[in-house]
Amino acid sequence: MLIVQSEQQSIALFGVGLIGSAIAEALQRRTGAPATGLRLRWASQDDFADDLQSVMQALEWRTAAGARPAVVWSAGAGGFGAAESETRAELQRFEQLVGALERLAAVRDVKPDFHLVSSGGGLFEGRRAVTTATQPASARPYSALKLAQEAAITSRRHFRRIRIYRPSSVYGRIRPGHRLGLVSTLIRNGIARQVTHLVGRTHTLRDFVHADDIGGFVAREVLSATAPDQRPPCMLAAGKPSSVQEVQRAIESVLGYRTFISFDLRSNNDADTTFAPNSLPTRWQPRPLLEGVRGVVEDYKSFQPDSWRRRQSDLDG
CB contact at 8 A, 219 and 27? yes
**Strands 2-5 and 35-37, sheet pairing:** antiparallel
Q: Which is nearer to another protein, 69 or 239 (CB)?
A: 239
User: How far apart, in whole angstroms, are the C-alpha atoms of residue 263 and residue 201?
Assistant: 6
Shortest distance, position 242 Cβ to another protein, whole Å: 8
Q: Which is nearer to another protein, 128 or 188 (CB)?
A: 128
Q: Which is nearer to another protein, 57 or 278 (CB)?
A: 278
The 3 state secondary structure assigned to the chain is CEEEECCCEEEEEECCCHHHHHHHHHHHHHHCCCEEECCCCCCCHHHHHHHHHHHHHHHHHHHHCCCEEEEEECCCCCCCCCCHHHHHHHHHHHHHHHHHHHHHHHHHCCCCEEEEECCHHHHCCCCCCECCCCCCCCCCHHHHHHHHHHHHHHCCCCCCEEEEEEECEEECCCCCCCCCHHHHHHHHHHHCCCEEEEECCCCCEECEEEHHHHHHHHHHHHHCCCCCEECCCEEECCCCCEEHHHHHHHHHHHHCCCCEEEEECCCCCCCCCCECHHHCCCCCCCCCHHHHHHHHHHHHHCCCHHHHHHHHHHHCC
Q: Which is nearer to another protein, 51 or 270 (CB)?
A: 270
Shortest distance, position 268 Cβ to another protein, whole Å: 15
> Which residues does residue 11 pair with via DSSP β-bridges, in sequence order?
4, 70
Shortest distance, position 207 Cβ to another protein, whole Å: 9
Shortest distance, position 277 Cβ to another protein, whole Å: 6
Q: Which is nearer to another protein, 260 or 303 (CB)?
A: 260
Q: Residues interacting with another protein, by CB under 8 A?
A: 128-129, 131, 133, 201-203, 205, 239-243, 245-246, 249, 252, 263, 272, 274, 276-278
Measure Cα distances from 91 to 48, 96, 159, 162 in Å: 13, 8, 19, 18
Shortest distance, position 210 Cβ to another protein, whole Å: 17
Q: Which is nearer to another protein, 80 or 263 (CB)?
A: 263
Shortest distance, position 25 Cβ to another protein, whole Å: 28
Q: Which is nearer to another protein, 63 or 248 (CB)?
A: 248
Shortest distance, position 132 Cβ to another protein, whole Å: 10
> Which residues does residue 37 pair with via DSSP β-bridges, in sequence order?
2
Shortest distance, position 243 Cβ to another protein, whole Å: 5
Q: Which is nearer to another protein, 82 or 297 (CB)?
A: 297
